[in-house]
């Protein structure tokens, strides 16, 4: 039995919520670990390094979010 559009949207949003929660938890850890001395020495370099570490850690979640969006879009186009 095919999913209704409403259920498809609910499932998609639930999947995205899980990925967002994972990223937010790690963002909090990063914020707590900021070394203010290093930040003040080279703000741009330090923040770039933090962002790079965050992105490296979450590239899998970003890919899963992209796949979830593509799957959802394909499904919505099929039932439209």
Domain boundaries, the chain: 5-79
What's the pTM value of the predicted model, to 2 decimals?
A: 0.57
Q: Which residue, among 75, 69, 57, has the nearest Cα to 5 in the 3D structure?
A: 75
d(CA 37, CA 24): 24
Q: In sequence order, which residues have a C-beta less than 8 Å from that of residue 23 and are 6 or more positions away?
A: 58, 61
For 23-69, what is each residue's pLDDT tens digit? 888 878 877 888 999 999 999 999 999 889 888 888 888 888 889 88
């Amino acid at each position: 039995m095919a999913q209704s559009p409403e259920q498809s949207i609910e499932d998609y949003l639930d999947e995205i919520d899980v990925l967002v929660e994972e990223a937010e938890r790690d963002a909090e850890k990063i914020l707590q670990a900021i070394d203010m001395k290093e930040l003040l020495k080279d703000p741009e370099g330090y923040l770039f390094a933090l962002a790079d570490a965050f992105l490296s850690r979450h590239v899998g979640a970003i890919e899963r979010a992209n796949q979830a969006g593509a799957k959802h879009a394909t499904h919505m186009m099929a039932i439209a």
